[in-house]
Amino acid sequence: MKLHEYQSKELLAKFGVPVAKGDVTSDPAEAKAIAERLGGRVVVKAQVLMGGRGKAGGVKLFDDAEAAGEFAKELIGKRLVSIQNPTGLIVEKILVVETIDIAEEYYVAILLDRNIQKSIVMISREGGVEIEEVAEHNPDAIVKFAVDPKWGLCDYEIRNAIAKANIPKPARNQMVKMIKQLVQAYEAADAEMVEINPCALTPEGKLIAADAKVSIDDNAMYRHPEYQSTSADSAEDPIEAEASNRGIAYVRLGGTIGIMGNGAGLVMQSIDEISAAGGTAANFLDVGGGAQAERVKSCMEVILMDPNVKGIFINIFGGITRVDEVAKGVLTAFSQMDIKVPVVARIEGTAVEEGRKILEGSIIQTANSAREGANLIVSLAK
């Protein structure tokens, strides 16, 4: 789960990382009041989870609170579109912070390198631009080293890397300190990434995080309930956000055949069969064990939130859960809903005959195999 800049900065500040003073709001009048309180020289920043907010017009510097308030009014509710995110995101919150005078911009990050199964520190003198750009045009400007999972970081390792990255002398000691703090925050938050870009050096020689991006490992979210309530507005896809709120494992795939299966393997097989039949899957959805009517209904609602869905393929294998129970759940759910697209179910497993009988005569057509079912739904959805 990605945290907003204001949440990321709050977290890092707890570990001593220097950040600019400021506050977050969704109200333009309050934005103006915050700007006044900070003395008028402020930066107004859209809190949307995408890169390149600066270029997209979501970050602006002001000399007086009046103008900052005007911009806040314009920005809140606006859809911000960037190269990385062409659909864009609506700005709900903005961050108003004291302007930092910037002499130089660096890049500092801690992230998980899955290839070497360790966390790494990344440093570059070329901050302020997207790191992918630096990696492409000037890869030598990026210095990386792994954090030993047992012993952690030694000062000399950090110092060597900072020197290798050509970070100017006045910033070095401060950066050593900051990297240690970042690693502490990274570990405490179960993060898979902590990125400071730009890490700003002021003309007075002070190092400060002018931007911050933190991403927490989704599998560790249960240890961080403080972020749970914001998970909906943090997800980039609104249907995935809703599914996550309902506790449903759902991934939007962009095709036209909605899929509901039990067990991740069966769902992936369903997606393959739909492709083999010449169709495209709209989603991954694992209904889980049990498949009670309420659960099935909730899953169906999520699948149908996607306007591209032209047909639904249900693929259930009942092992411990009896198929007739599942069939009853599906029918009950469907009787409470108004489903206008064709539905095909392949059901197999314990008490399959009883299950098929239950579905007979309903709007749900049954198939004897996943392949047969995939072919049928793809042709019906045309």
Residues that bind ligand GDP (CB under 6 A): 20, 43, 45, 51-54, 59, 61, 99-100, 102, 128, 197-198, 210-211
The CB-of-212 to ligand GDP minimum distance in angstroms stands at 8
The CB-of-336 to Mn ion minimum distance in angstroms stands at 47
The CB-of-38 to ligand GDP minimum distance in angstroms stands at 11
Secondary structure class of 232 (helix, strand, coil): helix
Give the residue at shortest CB distance from Mn ion. Answer: 211
- Active-site residue among 6, 106, 107, 186? 107
| Nearer to Mn ion (CB atom), residue 211 or residue 348 | 211
Q: Is 124 in the site for Mn ion (CB under 5 A)?
A: no
Question: Is 195 part of the annotated catalytic residue set?
Answer: yes
Rounded CA-CA distance 239/232 in Å is 10
| Closest by CA position to 329, among listed 281, 279, 368, 287 | 287
Give the residue at shortest CB distance from ligand GDP. Answer: 54
Binding characters for Mn ion, 1-30, by CB under 5 A (x = yes): ------------------------------
Rounded CA-CA distance 159/154 in Å is 9
Question: Is 204 part of the annotated catalytic residue set?
Answer: no
- Residues 164-203 touching Mn ion, rule: CB under 5 A, are 197
How far does CA 151 lie from the centroid of its chain? 31
The CB-of-289 to ligand GDP minimum distance in angstroms stands at 41
Report which residue type is found at 284: F
| Closest by CA position to 183, among listed 119, 266, 98, 97 | 119
Q: HEC states along 164-222?
A: HCCCCHHHHHHHHHHHHHHHHHHHHCCEEEEEEEEEEECCCCCEEECCCEEEECHHHHH
- Residues 203-242 touching Mn ion, rule: CB under 5 A, are 211
| Nearer to ligand GDP (CB atom), residue 95 or residue 314 | 95
Q: Number of residues interacting with Mn ion: please give it, by CB under 5 A.
A: 2
Q: Can you read off the two tokens belonging to residue 229?
A: 């309530």
Catalytic residues: 107, 195
